[in-house]
Amino acid sequence: MKHYTSYKDTIKAINSGKSSCYTIVQDYLKTISEKNPEINAFVQVFSEESLQRAKEIDQKILEGRAGKLAGMVIGIKDNICIKNHNVTASSKILKGFESLYNATVVERLIKEDAIIIGSLNCDEFAMGSASENSIYGPVRNPLNRNKVPGGSSGGSSSAVAAKMCLVALGSDTGGSIRQPASFCGVVGLKPTYSRVSRYGLIAYASSFDQIGPLANNVEDTALVLEVIAGIDKNDSTSSSRKVGNYTCVNTKEKRKIAVLLDCLELDGLDSEIKNSIDKTIEELKQEGHEVEYLSFPYLDVLVPTYYVLTTAEASSNLARFDGVHYGYRTEHPKNLEDTYINTRTEAFGEEVKRRIMLGTFVLSAGYKDDYYKKSQQVRRIVQDKTNEILKDFDFILSPTTPHTAFDIGKKQTDPTVMYLEDIFTVHANITGNPAISLPMYKHTNGMPFGLQLLSKKFSERELLSFSLELMHEYTKDGK
């Protein structure tokens, strides 16, 4: 049983006759059957469907009419709609609900002959940083099964890291692609807000959510983004800006890089992570890049601002899950109000209830100006400061996470401690900028951790180019 770690190797093996889409899917299905019972990354596996599709794509390859993702096996987070399959956002309130349509990103993957092998576990309604808040139970980190894989796209990061699929799609509201990518040692990209259509994504916070890929390398990340990005008539917030050629990159330019001192001097930042980032900064300087340390006085308000605004949006977005329209409904309700109250009480998990209540509170009369309006003002200040920095610099560099993956159950008792997991990643969601986590390091505790780069809006090509250069330099010396 052979698993290829890049699409380049995959298609090379298929074209040379050493393998086929059918054989590759068989191998992935075998790995899923062996590993998933413990890791719990997949909540549905499309065995027969993916094998049938593999046969069809093998034929298309023979006839020379296959798409640019022919033979790429992809897993999809369980909050992204796949036609004629259950989509639950890992919540009891949507248990048994079957989607009538494909999300735009799924439609575009299928059009280019990707093979969707199943749907992936996540925190309920994408609310969490550990993938423990799920009706299906917690996801385990394949590199150490006593530890979390990060969240909310923990099923996506685990599936890629465990070689149960080549690439996965996740959604990123405050770091939900990049933080699990860091914990599992894979590449995770959050595109510019509006670069990728959100049609078919079950919304958590609509002005923050963005779909993006998790992969083993930058090249596959770029290729998938090239396919899924672009304007969509079904999503009025999607950008009409032309999609760049993300896979054609220049890795030799000298760059100007800003390093936020406040991130590196944060109390609680693992000293080994700090030392690794410091070493990378010195290496960048030696290679001719211009690196400058800057103060960013808003780091301590990013997480509170993020949670006020996202919970406010969540309280509105999740109002549709009421036991009347679709999904779970409480048994034997006395009246309509009883239906609403009991359905939501029985079917929403604790974290989802907490965020709905917080969001309702910050939008309530007497508190809206103090919390919601103030947070919107802070969001604008953070956006302006970020734009100011990126006028003079190509990238903002920081750790992705303050530490490596923690033990399952360790942080469940204190929500505020869990919320601080997002301290480095929420920045890009507040401002709408693209950001990537690169699996550049390994801790002495044996667990990986990532380096994060944030860049100008719609500069994914430059971001991916520089990421590719960093990864090549990193692997070249066997670091």
457 is catalytic: no
Taking only the tens place, the pLDDT of each residue in 347-397 is 999 999 999 999 999 999 999 999 999 999 999 999 999 999 999 999 999
Rounded CA separation 476/115 (Å): 32
Taking only the tens place, the pLDDT of each residue in 162-195 is 999 999 999 999 999 999 999 999 999 999 999 9
474 falls in which pLDDT band (50, 70, 90)?
low
452 falls in which pLDDT band (50, 70, 90)?
very high
368 is catalytic: no
Catalytic residue among 19, 90, 171, 176: 176
Which residues touch 191 (CB under 8 Å, ≥6 apart)? 210, 211, 212, 225, 229, 434, 460
Rounded CA separation 479/460 (Å): 26
Measure the N-to-C terminal CA separation of the chain; round to a whole number of Å. 28
Catalytic residue among 90, 91, 152, 276: 152
Taking only the tens place, the pLDDT of each residue in 410-449 is 887 778 788 889 999 999 999 999 999 999 999 999 999 9
Residues paired with residue 141 on neighbouring β-strands, in sequence order:
144
State phi, psi for 23 to the nearest 5 degrees.
-65, -40
b or e along 252-266 (b: 16 or more beta carbons within 10 Å of the residue's beta carbon)?
A: eeebebbbbebbbeb
What average pLDDT is seen over the chain?
96
Do the beta carbons of residue 194 and residue 73 sit within 8 Å? no
Candidates 8, 6, 11; CA nearest to 70 is: 11
Q: What angle do CA 268, 149, 121 make, to 5 degrees?
A: 140
User: Any idea which residue has 């100006």 for tokens?
Assistant: 369
Token output for 473: 């330099």
Token output for 272: 């080994």
Pick the CATH number of 1-284+397-479 from 3.90.1300.10, 3.50.50.60, 2.50.20.10, 3.40.50.880: 3.90.1300.10
Query: Dmax of the chain from CA atoms?
Result: 72
Rounded CA separation 395/456 (Å): 7
Helix (H) or strand (E) holding 218: helix 218-228
The sign one gets for the Cα dihedral 436, 440, 444, 446 is positive
Catalytic residue among 20, 35, 77, 134: 77
8 is catalytic: no
Do the beta carbons of residue 273 and residue 441 sit within 8 Å? yes
Candidates 66, 105, 61; CA nearest to 82 is: 105
